[in-house]
Amino acid sequence: MSSPTVSIEGPTSTTSEGFLAAAKSGGCAPSSYGSSPTSPGDVDPAIWDKIKDHPCFSEEAHHYFARMHVAVAPACNVQCNYCNRKYDCANESRPGVVSEKLTPDQALRKVIAVANEVPQLSVLGIAGPGDACYDWEKTKATFDRVIREIPDIKLCVSTNGLVLPDHVAELAEMNVDHVTITINMVDPEVGAKIYPWIFYENRRYFGIEAARILHARQMLGLEMLSARGILTKINSVMIPGVNDQHLFEVNKMVKERGAFLHNVMPLISDPAHGTHYGLIGQRGPTAMEMMALQDRLEGGAKLMRHCRQCRADAVGLLGEDRGQEFTLDGIPDGVTYEAGKRQAYRQVVAHERRDHEAARSEAIGMVKATDSEKSLLVAVATKGGGRVNEHFGHAKEFQVYEVSPRGISLVGHRKVERYCLGGGGEDAILEGVIAALEGIHIVLCAKIGNRPKERLSRAGLRATDAYAHDYIETAVSALYAAEFGIRPLAATA
């Protein structure tokens, strides 16, 4: 086996020095209050140990670690009004997307191929299309095969919860310690507006009766998982006018039953997807409505605010999708697992994390020590490692940080179309980027040209590359200091 080559931004550079240099010179990251844990001090050490490499359950881990999904369990026992079964399960995945469906043997081949090439890989998830617990034999067969070959990969399951209680004991036996349940309601009257029917114990149920059964099974499944120490994330789809206000009750009830995180996701509704909601014109929330609801939910169950509603066959860090690099037809039959790259990468991350944690603590300490009442929303262009390291024109998303005397917190992200396609930027795309950055005060990036900077300025948006390659928290705290006349920190960790 040749010596492993790893980098914080991908599989191309070499040693830990190379990794650090790449992170500082190439391309982005976070910290928080109220949202998913970002440092060992935020949670019990045993829990931190479980989540520290899981990019969805720990916001901090999402700067370093990647997940992959395999679409092996397409059957479903529930109908959601935001789902068209031609596409992936919209409870955990981006609507309107069709994923490559695999048998358990094909899934094993794909996981090995990805593990050999993507050193950041830490989690294998089954997240649709369909329900991982209803299509249980395929889920189990896939996990059994993968864990035999790659024992240190974390297994993760997403489910609508209807038959979850029947499989909790097996999930525990298989060491699945991260489970997501989609819970959109705790009141069957609300549920009847979201679920037209369910299929349970060989019978179809409709309306309120269906929602009542689904609710009871979801609560039972959550309680059973909590009793076994399996960490649970609750996904709720925010549907304006249907369950947006009701999500306070959902948050309260799942917290009482031991949910670890609550992930409120926006409804994505498009008539072209052929869903009931799409066809009747039910709208999804705006980015600002989402943020406002999440802000009001602070103080209840901890919120996940870095979800990207990824595909059911997604591969890579949460903000990226490398799935197209690993389609089945490009993977040899006899592929075997080589652990070297992943092990080397973990050593590199352990080192980088110590530096980042020290920089984050210093930055947060500084903003908390101010007597300012002000807050800023900062959009950051980043490509991994927790640094301001992406060019404005290359960004496909901006991570949104709020900085205030309460601290520095990742509060969401804004997806955009890449502005610079080579040979200059497209004005129409830039207008779309400006619209996506509604409510943002300042944009941080590694590089920005005069033309987009001036256009942003005319729209009331400031942008700067003065903090290129700094840790995000360091950059954001320095910006806050400069903005409100407080003594700044040293610029780079």
Site string for ligand CLF, 72-101 (x = CB under 6 A): --------------------x---------
Pick the closer one to ligand CLF by CB: 90 or 163.
Answer: 90
- Asked if 266 touches ligand SF4 (CB under 6 A), the answer is no
Q: Which does 91 bind (CB under 5 to 8 A by kind): ligand CLF, ligand SF4, none?
A: ligand SF4
- Asked if 263 touches ligand CLF (CB under 6 A), the answer is yes
Instruction: Please identify which residue in 56, 89, 259, 265 interacts with ligand SF4, judged by CB under 6 A.
Output: 89
Pick the closer one to ligand SF4 by CB: 58 or 180.
Answer: 180
Instruction: Please identify which residue in 51, 70, 90, 478 interacts with ligand SF4, judged by CB under 6 A.
Output: 90
- Asked if 26 touches ligand CLF (CB under 6 A), the answer is no
Whether cis (ω within 30° of 0) applies to the bond prior to 129 is yes
- Identify any residues that bridge with 158 across adjacent strands, giving them in sequence order: 180
Stretch that binds ligand SF4, among 34-42, 89-97, 368-376, 478-486 (CB under 6 A): 89-97
* Closest distance of CB 159 from ligand SF4, Å: 8
* Closest distance of CB 456 from ligand CLF, Å: 28
Backbone angles phi, psi at 417, to 5 degrees: -85, 140
Site string for ligand CLF, 176-205 (x = CB under 6 A): --x-x-------------------------
Nearest to 363 by CA among 398, 399, 404, 400: 404
- Asked if 78 touches ligand SF4 (CB under 6 A), the answer is yes
* Closest distance of CB 267 from ligand CLF, Å: 14
Stretch that binds ligand CLF, among 15-23, 281-289, 295-303, 305-313 (CB under 6 A): 305-313
Measured from each CB, the residue nearest to ligand CLF is 125
- Asked if 129 touches ligand SF4 (CB under 6 A), the answer is yes
* b (16+ CB within 10 A) / e for 141-179: bbbebbbeebeebbbbbbbbbbbbbebbeebbebebbbb
- Asked if 52 touches ligand CLF (CB under 6 A), the answer is no
In this structure, how many other beta carbons lie within 10 angstroms of the beta carbon of residue 260?
A: 25
- How many degrees, rounded to 5, is the angle at CA 386 between CA 11 and CA 423? 70
- Asked if 376 touches ligand CLF (CB under 6 A), the answer is no
- Asked if 58 touches ligand SF4 (CB under 6 A), the answer is no
Q: Which does 79 bind (CB under 5 to 8 A by kind): ligand SF4, ligand CLF, none?
A: ligand SF4
Structure tokens at 112: 């090995």
Pick the closer one to ligand CLF by CB: 155 or 443.
Answer: 155
Instruction: Please identify which residue in 4, 55, 130, 278 interacts with ligand SF4, judged by CB under 6 A.
Output: 130
Pick the closer one to ligand SF4 by CB: 80 or 463.
Answer: 80
Q: Which does 83 bind (CB under 5 to 8 A by kind): ligand CLF, ligand SF4, none?
A: ligand SF4
Instruction: Please identify which residue in 125, 188, 284, 285 interacts with ligand CLF, judged by CB under 6 A.
Output: 125
- Asked if 83 touches ligand SF4 (CB under 6 A), the answer is yes
Instruction: Please identify which residue in 72, 108, 127, 234 interacts with ligand CLF, judged by CB under 6 A.
Output: 127
- Asked if 51 touches ligand SF4 (CB under 6 A), the answer is no
Q: What is the 3-state secondary structure (H, E, C) of the chain?
A: CCCCCCECCECCCCCHHHHHHHHHHHCCCCCCCCECCCCHHHCCHHHHHHHCCCCCCCCHHHHCCEEEECECCCCCCEECCCCCCCCCCCCCCCCCCCCCECCHHHHHHHHHHHHHHCCCEEEEEECCCCCCCCCHHHHHHHHHHHHHHCCCCEEEEEECCCCHHHHHHHHHHCCCCEEEEECCCCCHHHHCCCCCEEEECCEEEEHHHHHHHHHHHHHHHHHHHHHCCCEEEEEEEECCCCCCCCHHHHHHHHHHCCCCEEEEEECCCCHHHCCHHHHHCCCCCCHHHHHHHHHHHCCCCCECCCCCCCCCCCEECCCCCCHHHHCHHHCCCCCCCCCHHHHHHHHHHHHHHHHHHHHHHHHHHHHHCCCCCCCEEEEECCCCCCECCCEHHHCCEEEEEEEECCEEEEEEEEECCCCECCCCECHHHHHHHHHHCCCCCEEECCECCHHHHHHHHHCCCEEECCCCCCEHHHHHHHHHHHHHCCCCCCCCC
- Asked if 184 touches ligand SF4 (CB under 6 A), the answer is no
- Asked if 268 touches ligand SF4 (CB under 6 A), the answer is no
Q: Which does 133 bind (CB under 5 to 8 A by kind): ligand SF4, ligand CLF, none?
A: none
- Asked if 91 touches ligand SF4 (CB under 6 A), the answer is yes
Instruction: Please identify which residue in 310, 403, 410, 440 interacts with ligand CLF, judged by CB under 6 A.
Output: 310
In this structure, how many other beta carbons lie within 10 angstroms of the beta carbon of residue 479?
A: 23
- Asked if 420 touches ligand CLF (CB under 6 A), the answer is no
Q: Which positions lie near ligand CLF, rule CB under 6 A?
A: 56, 67, 69, 92, 123, 125, 127, 156, 158, 178, 180, 233, 263, 307-310, 318
Q: Which positions lie near ligand SF4, rule CB under 6 A?
A: 76, 78-80, 83, 89-91, 128-131, 160
